[in-house]
Amino acid sequence: GQQLNQSPQSMFIQEGEDVSMNCTSSSIFNTWLWYKQDPGEGPVLLIALYKAGELTSNGRLTAQFGITRKDSFLNISASIPSDVGIYFCAGQKETSGSRLTFGEGTQLTVNP
């Protein structure tokens, strides 16, 4: 099946630091999505990207849709303790009935 390679698997940072994580794929996606999952909850959508090259921000979060449509990155600036959680990238194809393919997640720990 489809695979998204997400890296890094985990990150341990100090409060105030910037964070970057990315996803790559061997195939093209028409949409890239970034979700955050807090313990005991379902994933919550952070940013959606619909066009190759698109750069979108949501507060301290910035994400980009790669030009080749095979990758995306997510940056978090000036991290705070509540940024702790698991971040997932997901790709979607127009022909897939809105099905998503998920990366394996990046576990983020922020030390105060």
Partner 1 sequence: NAGVTQTPKFRILKIGQSMTLQCAQDMNHNYMYWYRQDPGMGLKLIYYSVGAGITDKGEVPNGYNVSRSTTEDFPLRLELAAPSQTSVYFCASSSQIGSNQPQHFGDGTRLSIL
Q: Is 44 in the site for partner 1 (CB under 8 A)?
A: yes
8, 106 Cβ separation under 8 angstroms: yes
54 is an interface residue for partner 1 by CB under 8 A: no
Candidate residues 12, 82, 97, 112; the one interacting with partner 1 per rule CB under 8 A: 97
Q: Out of 22, 25, 64, 92, name the contact with partner 1 by CB under 8 A.
A: 92
Using rule CB under 8 A, residue 27 touches partner 1: no
Write the CA distances from 3 to 26, 52, 60, 73, 101, integer angstroms: 8, 19, 28, 16, 7
Identified binder of partner 1 from the candidate list 12, 26, 40, 82, rule CB under 8 A: 40
Decide: is 98 part of the binding site for partner 1 (CB under 8 A). yes
Instruction: Note whether 83 and 76 are within 8 A (CB).
Output: yes
Cα–Cα distance measured from residue 18 to residue 102, given in angstroms and rounded to the nearest whole number: 24
